């Protein structure tokens, strides 16, 4: 369907498509992963467009979405959420961009069974990755004439991991004095984003870009897209290229 729409007569862009199957294949180590042809194609073209990829729940191969992000170091997940004129929704004037760290956090997939019946999952946060995604958010704001960046977190509970993320965001914010920097708990952001009675819609321009750690960003994005009755569309980005998707 996507190719059909983009190839409609009168279109201004001519696209040459390379279609690659990403059905998981078993590697020499016994693990399932992305076929090498698909990896080579994205490396060559530096941009990809993928549809939804099924991930077995609680068993089977690891998430291919995560595998793609980690294979190409696609550290910034960029999700615009904007009202469209003529499309009736519960709320108008929605204009928010969610940028979340894409390779770490709870989605790093690091977990193991300590003893039978006791499983440990590790939330990985590094200074390097946190600085990198914060820089991306502020640079995005500057390039797109956005006035505010909000760091969304749960540092009141996850004091070391989200605390490190906030430290990095603050350091980057100091280098961008022309962009307003805010911090909000995830709970507060979700309340502002979905409450029909207690709080109104966040005014356009007040909260323009949200920078999140991984799972925090997924929750934040899910709440935001409900405001405009839409699926979530965006890109997984890095300096070397990006992979676009809808989810």
CA dihedral 165→169→170→175, nearest 10 degrees, is 150
Which residue in this structure is represented by tokens 């995604």?
Answer: 133
| pLDDT one-digit tens code per residue, 157-169 | 889 999 999 999 9
Predicted pLDDT at 186: 82
Residue-wise burial string across 159-178, b where 16 or more C-beta atoms lie within 10 A, e elsewhere: eebbebbbebbeebbeebee
Q: Which of 166, 198, 164 is nearest to 181 (CA)?
A: 166
Confidence of residue 247 (pLDDT cuts 50, 70, 90): low
| pLDDT one-digit tens code per residue, 184-196 | 888 887 776 543 3
Predicted pLDDT at 193: 54
Residue 73 pLDDT more than 90?
A: no
Residue 132 pLDDT more than 70?
A: yes
| pLDDT one-digit tens code per residue, 110-123 | 889 999 999 999 88
* Alpha helices, H only, 28-63: 36-45
> pTM of this prediction?
0.76
């Amino acid at each position: 369907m996507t190719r059909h729409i983009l190839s409609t007569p009168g279109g201004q862009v001519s696209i040459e498509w390379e279609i690659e199957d990403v059905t998981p294949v078993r590697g020499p180590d016994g693990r399932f992963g992305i076929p090498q042809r698909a990896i080579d194609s994205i490396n060559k073209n530096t941009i990809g467009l993928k549809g939804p990829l099924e991930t077995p729940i609680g068993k089977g191969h690891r998430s291919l979405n995560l595998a793609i992000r980690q294979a190409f170091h696609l550290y910034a997940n960029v999700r615009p959420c904007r009202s469209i004129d003529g499309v009736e929704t519960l709320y108008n004037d929605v204009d928010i961009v969610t940028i979340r760290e894409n390779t770490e956090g709870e989605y790093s997939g690091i977990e193991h069974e300590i003893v039978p019946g006791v499983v440990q999952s590790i939330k990985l946060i590094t200074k390097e990755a946190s600085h990198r995604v914060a820089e991306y958010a502020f640079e995005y704001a500057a390039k797109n004439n956005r006035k505010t960046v909000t760091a969304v977190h749960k540092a009141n509970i996850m004091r070391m991991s989200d605390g490190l993320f906030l430290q990095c965001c603050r350091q980057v914010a100091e280098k961008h004095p022309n962009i307003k920097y805010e911090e909000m708990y995830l709970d507060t952001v979700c309340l502002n984003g979905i409450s029909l009675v207690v709080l109104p819609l966040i005014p356009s321009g007040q909260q323009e870009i949200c920078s999140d750690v991984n799972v925090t960003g997924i929750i934040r994005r899910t709440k935001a897209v409900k405001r405009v009755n839409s699926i979530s569309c965006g890109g997984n980005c890095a300096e070397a290229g990006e992979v676009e998707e809808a989810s």
